[in-house]
Chain A
Amino acid sequence: MSDDGIRLLGPDGKRVAHPTYSGDADPGELRALYRDMALARRLDTEGVTLQRQGELALWPSLLGQEAAQVGSVRALREGDRVFPSYREHAVALARGVDPLALFRLFRGVDHGAWDPDAHDVHLYTLVIGSQTLHATGYAHGLTKDGSDAAVIAYFGDGATSQGDVAEAFNFAAVYDAPIVFFCQNNQFAISEPNERQTRVPLHQRAQGFGFPGVRVDGNDVLAVRAVTRAALEHVRSGAGPFLIEAYTYRMGAHTTSDDPTRYRDAAEVERWRAKDPLLRLDRLLRAEHAADDAFFAEVEAEGEALAARIREGVRGMPAPRAEELFDHVYAEENSLVERERAEFAAYQAAFEEV
């Protein structure tokens, strides 16, 4: 096993044998995984571009993490619940969340207003690591309900420094909550490198809490899928939580407000570029004759269409009504909120169009 973790598909596009995990997939599955990753990457590029045009307040790029996200989300069953952080665009897209919903959040039109029940994808959580607690509670609830669904909670290497994550690990372990903790170790907590986050490899953290943890090559979509499948089986069986450390690399900036050239060197980025998740699957698909040029052209065209839809959708997004502030404070009517709404309306009425 390399330092990058369990691997079934090398950067050269060649399969790697593993005693426990299998990368078996029929050509259709391989193509679907590629398509998921390619569309996510195109969506992400558009996010960065729209931010640079002043259309978005912020965009956190997933570039480089496509395999970690697609491999894991495609291991889920219907009814399994996803708790993302804020970079899981490939996960949301694969699960069928309207991509424009993500863009509304990063444009500041709403605070993330998709229905979490519609696709079993919880809202993005921008507070670092707190979603692991929500996810653990939800997973514990599933046990109480007698459901056989599982939960996957996404977080980053930086979040492992948060108390919330340690609390979630402990609670989930003590109550055997059916949850997979999926840590995308993209090497940087904004500008802080791994060595300033942890003394031990992150997957080893689980041991201290009494549950298994493994590292998987996060740029290998087949390995991520296989390991996540096994982890889900484990948590569904009532054996308690499971930690996956998907070892990957954030190729872009932390967000569009960040400049990674200030804290990491170009040579390192180049080393990771050689491990690109799409490139290796591209190579495998061609080597195994599972896809031809027409397929790649088709995916590219689909990506362009998605980008165009996003572009138009974002540029045409109406500004929110100021009154919406009051709409979702409480599920039911609240007298204080209603009074404030009335005061605000009166204030607004003090102006008139001329």
Chain B
Amino acid sequence: MLKYTAKRLLQSLVTLFIIATIVFSLMRLMPIEGYFQNFDKLDQNQIQAALKSMGLLDPLPVQLKNFYIQILHGDFGKSLIFRPNVPCLEIIGDKAPVSILMGLASIAIALVLGLPLGIAMARGKSKFWDKFGTAFIVFITAVPAAVYYLLIQLYCTDWFGVPILFSTDDPSSWILPTVSLALPNIAYYAMWLRRYMVDELNKDYIKLARAKGVSSKNIMKNHVFRNAFVPMVQYLPTSILYTVAGSIYIESLYSVPGMGGLLVNVIQRQDNNMVQALVLIYSAVGIVGLLLGDLLMRAMDPRISFTKEGGAR
């Protein structure tokens, strides 16, 4: 386990390093307008001088080296257009709490609704839940989120009399974005759990458990659910971390002052440094999620030593 953890950690770091390199290099390909607040008003000399002061005229390897050093010091550069000269991390730090809070609330909703839905579907006793769950999963996974998010915002604000835009002080304005954010996760959790539980149900050890006289209820509880949860654990951290990192759609639709909305904002305004910082943070979040998922699953499954090391997941 220790060896695996170390190996997996190293792998994540390498990935992060590669992503940072790619992101940085690609950013150099961008039009230089993204580095100036008032590009149109500057003359060529001023532009060159500014670029030089930002170190953007150095050869690429030197720039890369400086960039690594910066990042290792926790410096992601300063915003250029969005809020000029404010450190990117400070801006993101301002925005993160709302995203995290909303994300946690929606994860709670998704777990509370998604897991029972998955179990109900796997048991296959109730035709209604099976049909409803399947329709729900098909709709949510097939239709692009933009469409149903829009429809929810369009109609539910009227029906429930809640504000169409978010404000931190009004609790009722939290409801729609949080619930909307939970919808895809409800569908995914239900889908995964159902699939894994059905897989487990078809295994021989379930037959033996039935043959020794364990009731279906206890088989579901002690054998099927527990075993089906292990492969699910692999996906949970990623889905939780992404949700907590803020939804790009939801936050811009409801004007939630979080990280997801920020990304759309800085992309549209071409603030290169902000885009770079956010992309790096989102990548790191994704990588950490996958790392946690792999480690958790390994910890929960006693067969570790028997599964092949180094194979593709």
Q: Answer whether A and B are interacting partners.
A: no
